């Protein structure tokens, strides 16, 4: 499914984000930036060890050894990935609290703003927080898509691709997008 928003494109696809050829892909990381399971593990495996080395450097130099806070984003190169850049963001762990929606929205907004600040015009997102972090996917889809739509409404950007890992995740996002556009 693809829609146009203010001259920009928003696409929903199924696929593996490590294969996406947008200028940037987004990693659903954790605050350590040192890798993990899920999409984070897949991105680090596909990008090669240089990605971990740059993440370690960011921890030391940009974050003074601290963790990347939930909702914030940092950018690295893509190394062996088709994408030139990886934007790493930390989604909220679901705990049944309403306040988590805002933190999830922050992930999308901050990633998009960071991409735009680096002159990036195409970006692929995974479904942040809906795997290991257990955020309910229908709720996450509405937060993700409404944040992306709001961003694209406000500026000239290019292309945003939501890369869903399964057909069932795709269908949830498709239903949420249709509802949002009604």
Binding residues (CB under 6 A) for ligand AR6: these are 16-18, 28-30, 36-40, 42, 91, 126-133, 163, 165, 169
Whichever of 52 and 132 has its CB closer to ligand AR6, that residue is 132
Give the nearest distance from C-beta 134 to ligand AR6 in angstroms.
7
Whichever of 22 and 127 has its CB closer to ligand AR6, that residue is 127
Burial class for 146, CB neighbours closer than 10 Å (0-12, 13-18, 19+):
middle
What is the C-alpha separation between 129 and 36, in angstroms, rounded?
13
Give the nearest distance from C-beta 113 to ligand AR6 in angstroms.
19
What is the C-alpha separation between 162 and 26, in angstroms, rounded?
10
- Mapped onto helix, strand or coil, the DSSP state of residue 81 is coil
Strands (E), 68-114: 73-77, 85-90
Whichever of 107 and 112 has its CB closer to ligand AR6, that residue is 107
Check if 40 is active-site: yes
Using alpha carbons, list the distances in angstroms from residue 164 to 9, 76, 160, 173: 17, 22, 13, 8
Give the nearest distance from C-beta 153 to ligand AR6 in angstroms.
25
- Which listed residue (16, 40, 101, 169) is catalytic? 40
Residue 74's nearest CA partner among 40, 115, 102 is 115
Give the nearest distance from C-beta 145 to ligand AR6 in angstroms.
15
Active site residues: 40
């Amino acid at each position: 499914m693809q829609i146009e928003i203010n001259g920009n494109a928003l696409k929903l696809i199924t696929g593996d984000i490590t294969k996406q050829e947008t200028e940037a892909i987004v990693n659903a990381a954790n605050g350590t930036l040192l890798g993990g399971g899920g999409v984070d593990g897949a991105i680090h495996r596909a990008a090669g060890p240089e990605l971990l080395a740059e993440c370690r450097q960011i921890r030391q130099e940009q974050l003074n050894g601290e963790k990347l806070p939930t909702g914030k984003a940092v950018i690295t190169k893509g190394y062996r990935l088709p994408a030139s850049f990886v934007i790493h963001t930390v989604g909220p762990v679901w705990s049944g609290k309403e306040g988590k929606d805002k933190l999830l929205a922050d992930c999308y907004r901050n990633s998009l703003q960071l991409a735009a600040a680096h002159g990036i015009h195409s970006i692929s997102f995974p479904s942040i927080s809906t795997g290991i972090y257990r955020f309910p996917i229908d709720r996450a889809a509405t937060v993700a898509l409404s944040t992306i739509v709001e961003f694209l409404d406000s500026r000239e950007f290019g292309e945003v691709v939501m890369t869903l890992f399964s057909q069932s995740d795709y269908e949830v996002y498709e239903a949420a997008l249709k509802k949002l556009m009604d």
